[in-house]
């Protein structure tokens, strides 16, 4: 029996009910914390658990240094505890404490898991990508590991926060204690800063990515930024662009141009046979005269950023999501120029790019053989393409196929069994628990299946050559990490993103008739593609040029086809 309870029993000859009541009061007191104790313990938990990925970055920084001050390194967790304790104290206010910190803990649990298992950082771009994620996409991240983590580091701590008794003192006394506690935390920070300021500045400058892994401050700051920009700032006045656009195609053979643009998802150049990969991941299109543009980079590392950016007139360095939403896209300018347009989408939507032209989002229950209610194989787009091509093409036309491609982490759900060529593969969503060979094989199967889709599109374009001059362009929105340097998936801040997430494939196929009628020298194009440097910045003007749309917004220096035009001028 605890000594405190024994003392209560000896105080007076009360009846059993009274003794039980006093026992309860004593035991309850043991579970009671002051607001300062609660705040400090919570900060300690956040540092010791949620900031484990941060200390992994610290470890990498230490390994890069020849001379390490380990006393300074030891102060980092202490500094974090002091800093979080100070910040948490601001929100440790009666009536809001539990609700606020339960919400924050559940959120931080998810952020922690994403950083620990996949190396994902929740910056503005990732917040934007998360907000735009549909239900089916979100469910792919639900697996045994994520559920266990959420229970262990989210639900259980949240339950403890809910159950704990917090002893709020009278207002003046509570405020005084809080101020003294916050001052003490600031003193701790100041002392560390006094002795190790230069160490923090130097180490932080050499390991700038550290700040992005601090939980919960960086993710919360990114969320506040996203909410402020999207919900509290005055919308920009919409800007129409390319109203002067006109189609200047020289139609000497009486046939219109028909171009299919395939927008890939999560395909990285590193795993393409066309870019030096040893495995035959382009076996289906290798029979066609494909042009692969080497050294091509994406505008972002997530669809929510890259897709609007690649169709924007802004370059990556100029790009601002808010401005992009308030102005015409490449699709709009093509529309102004008289091009017939159709957007077919089997991914997460066009992110506003195609809103003002005809577009079809695939019904996820439309085909029981190709769809499961959450996703469809990309073959479903071929069916829609067949419907579109059933009507003869009468004017210059561009059809966009937005494929789901290599969307992770459930790569194994992106290809049918008959396209499961590389084995053993990883038939699970917690990809961090797959063997490296299995994970790469699974991803390679998605690349090969996308290559099959492209080959099928080319076959359909070849069948149209009696009525149209046909061409195809394929470009991925961003790349993917498959465990290199401990990183998985995509969405890393661009400044620290590995090449796997930004090096992408850019391919083209031009029928002989299209090349001849549009004056494009294929040999010249292949030479240029092999030696040049390209990016999503090139897409806007290149497609205007390919469709022979003339406009003041067109930039010849960014048109990848311009230097190889022989007889037909776009400007």
* Predicted pLDDT of residue 2: 40
Q: Are residues 316 and 434 in the same domain?
A: yes
* Predicted pLDDT of residue 6: 37
Strand ranges (E), 250-395: 257-264, 291-292, 296-297, 340-345, 359-361
Question: Which of 199, 231, 263 corresponds to the end of one domain?
Answer: 231
DSSP-assigned letters across all residues of 186-200 = HHHHHHHHHHHHHHH
Query: Span 281-292, mean pLDDT?
Result: 97
* Predicted pLDDT of residue 23: 43
Q: Are residues 223 and 251 in the same domain?
A: no
Residue holding tokens 């010849």? 556
Q: What angle do CA 554, 558, 559 make, to 5 degrees?
A: 75
Peptide bond before residue 398 is cis, with ω within 30 degrees of 0: no
Question: Which of 231, 258, 288 corresponds to the end of one domain?
Answer: 231
Task: Decide: helix, strand or coil at residue 244.
Answer: coil
Do the domain assignments include residue 3?
no
Q: Which residue has better confidence, 118 or 89?
A: 89
* Predicted pLDDT of residue 478: 97
Q: Are residues 89 and 185 in the same domain?
A: yes
- CATH number of the domain that residue 305 is part of: 3.40.720.10
Domain limits at 77? 31-231
Question: Which of 231, 260, 292 corresponds to the end of one domain?
Answer: 231
What size, in residues, is the chain?
571
On the question of pLDDT at 28 being above 70, the answer is no
Do the domain assignments include residue 571?
no
Q: Are residues 251 and 217 in the same domain?
A: no
On the question of pLDDT at 30 being above 60, the answer is no
Alpha helices by DSSP H, listed for 252-378, are: 303-310, 321-325, 330-336
**Token output for 293:** 């543009």
Query: Among 341, 333, 354, 336, which residue's Cα sits nearest to residue 553?
Result: 333
pLDDT digits (tens, 9 = 90+) for 384-441: 999 999 998 999 999 999 999 999 999 999 999 999 999 999 999 889 889 999 999 9
Do the domain assignments include residue 24?
no
Do the domain assignments include residue 19?
no
Q: Are residues 73 and 185 in the same domain?
A: yes
On the question of pLDDT at 249 being above 50, the answer is yes
Q: Are residues 49 and 117 in the same domain?
A: yes
On the question of pLDDT at 230 being above 90, the answer is no
pLDDT digits (tens, 9 = 90+) for 454-486: 999 999 999 999 999 999 999 999 999 999 988
Q: Are residues 450 and 533 in the same domain?
A: yes
Q: Which residue has better confidence, 546 or 233?
A: 546
**Residue % of the chain over a pLDDT of 70:** 94
Q: Are residues 200 and 345 in the same domain?
A: no
* Predicted pLDDT of residue 567: 58
On the question of pLDDT at 24 being above 50, the answer is no
Neighbouring-strand partners of residue 482:
488
pLDDT digits (tens, 9 = 90+) for 491-543: 889 988 999 999 999 999 999 999 999 999 999 999 999 999 999 999 999 99
Q: Are residues 41 and 136 in the same domain?
A: yes
Across all residues in the chain, what is the average pLDDT? 91
Q: Are residues 142 and 252 in the same domain?
A: no
Number of domains into which the chain is organized: 2
**Token output for 503:** 């090096």
Do the domain assignments include residue 353?
yes
* Predicted pLDDT of residue 300: 95
Cβ contact 318:488 at 8 Å = no
Peptide bond before residue 350 is cis, with ω within 30 degrees of 0: no
DSSP-assigned letters across all residues of 428-475 = SS-GGGS-HHHHHHHHHHHHHHHHHHHHHHHHHHHHTTTT-EEEEEEE
pLDDT digits (tens, 9 = 90+) for 80-116: 999 999 999 999 999 999 999 999 999 999 999 999 9
Q: Are residues 552 and 433 in the same domain?
A: yes
* Predicted pLDDT of residue 21: 54
Do the domain assignments include residue 9?
no
Query: Among 508, 32, 521, which residue's Cα sits nearest to residue 261?
Result: 508
Q: Are residues 395 and 348 in the same domain?
A: yes
Do the domain assignments include residue 129?
yes
pLDDT digits (tens, 9 = 90+) for 314-365: 999 999 999 999 999 999 999 999 999 999 999 989 999 999 999 999 999 9
Do the domain assignments include residue 237?
no
Q: What is the pTM of this model?
A: 0.80
On the question of pLDDT at 16 being above 80, the answer is no
Task: Please report, for residues 172, 347, 373, 413, the alpha-carbon distance to residue 370 in angstroms, rounded to integers and kept in the order given.
Answer: 66, 14, 10, 11
**Residue % of the chain over a pLDDT of 90:** 75
DSSP-assigned letters across all residues of 306-330 = HHHHHTSSS-TTT--HHHHHTB--H
- The Cα 562–Cα 571 span in angstroms is 10
- The Cα 528–Cα 523 span in angstroms is 9
Task: Please report, for residues 308, 309, 321, 400, 470, the alpha-carbon distance to residue 235 in angstroms, rounded to integers and kept in the order given.
Answer: 17, 19, 12, 29, 40
């Amino acid at each position: 029996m605890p000594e405190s309870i024994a003392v209560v029993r000896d105080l007076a000859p009360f009846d059993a009910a009274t003794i039980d009541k006093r026992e309860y009061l004593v035991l309850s007191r043991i579970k009671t914390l002051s607001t300062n104790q609660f705040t400090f313990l919570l900060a300690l938990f956040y540092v010791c658990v949620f900031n484990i990925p941060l200390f992994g970055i610290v470890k990498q920084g230490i390994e890069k240094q020849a001379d390490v001050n380990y006393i300074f390194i030891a102060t980092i967790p202490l500094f974090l505890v002091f800093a979080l304790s100070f910040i948490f104290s601001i929100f440790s206010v009666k009536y809001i404490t539990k609700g606020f910190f339960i919400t924050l803990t559940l959120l931080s649990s998810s952020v922690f898991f994403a950083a620990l298992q996949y190396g994902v950082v929740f910056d503005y771009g990732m917040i934007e990508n998360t907000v735009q994620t549909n239900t089916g996409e979100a469910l792919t991240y639900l697996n045994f590991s994520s559920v266990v983590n959420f229970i262990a580091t989210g639900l259980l701590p949240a339950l403890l926060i809910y159950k704990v008794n917090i002893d709020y003192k009278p207002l003046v006394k509570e405020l005084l204690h809080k101020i003294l506690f916050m001052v003490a935390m600031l003193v701790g920070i100041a002392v560390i800063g006094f002795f190790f300021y230069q160490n923090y500045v130097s180490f932080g400058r050499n390991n700038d990515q550290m700040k992005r892994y601090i939980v919960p401050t960086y993710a919360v700051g990114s969320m506040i930024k996203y909410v402020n920009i999207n919900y509290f700032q005055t919308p920009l006045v919409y800007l129409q662009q390319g109203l002067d656009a006109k189609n200047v195609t020289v139609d000497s053979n009486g046939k219109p141009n028909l171009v299919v643009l395939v927008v890939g998802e999560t395909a990285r150049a590193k795993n393409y046979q066309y870019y030096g990969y040893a495995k035959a991941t382009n076996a289906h299109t290798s029979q066609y005269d494909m042009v692969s543009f080497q050294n091509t980079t994406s505008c972002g590392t997530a669809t929510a950023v890259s897709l609007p950016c690649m169709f924007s007139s802004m370059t990556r360095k100029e790009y601002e999501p808010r401005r992009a939403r308030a102005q015409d896209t490449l699709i709009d300018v093509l529309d102004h120029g008289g091009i017939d347009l159709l957007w077919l989408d089997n991914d997460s939507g066009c992110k506003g790019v195609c809103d003002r032209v005809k577009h079809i989002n695939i019904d996820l229950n439309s085909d029981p053989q190709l769809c499961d209610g959450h996703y469809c194989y990309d073959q479903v787009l071929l069916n829609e393409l067949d419907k579109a091509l059933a009507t003869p093409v009468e004017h210059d036309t561009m059809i966009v196929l937005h494929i789901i491609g290599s969307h992770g982490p459930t790569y194994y759900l992106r290809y049918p069994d008959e396209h499961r060529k590389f084995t053993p593969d990883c038939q699970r969503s917690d990809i961090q628990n797959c063997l490296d060979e299995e994970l790469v094989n699974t991803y390679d199967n998605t690349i090969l299946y996308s290559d099959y889709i492209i080959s099928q599109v080319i076959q359909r374009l070849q069948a149209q050559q009696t009525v149209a001059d046909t061409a195809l362009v394929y470009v991925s929105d961003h790349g993917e990490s498959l465990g290199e340097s401990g990183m998985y998936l995509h969405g890393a801040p661009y400044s620290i993103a590995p090449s796997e997430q930004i090096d992408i494939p850019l391919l083209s196929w031009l029928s002989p008739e299209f090349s001849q009628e549009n004056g494009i020298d294929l040999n010249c194009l292949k030479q240029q593609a092999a030696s040049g440097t390209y990016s999503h910045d090139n897409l806007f003007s290149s497609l205007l040029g390919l469709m022979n749309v003339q406009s003041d917004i067109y930039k010849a220096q960014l048109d990848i086809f311009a230097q190889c035009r022989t007889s037909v001028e776009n400007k």
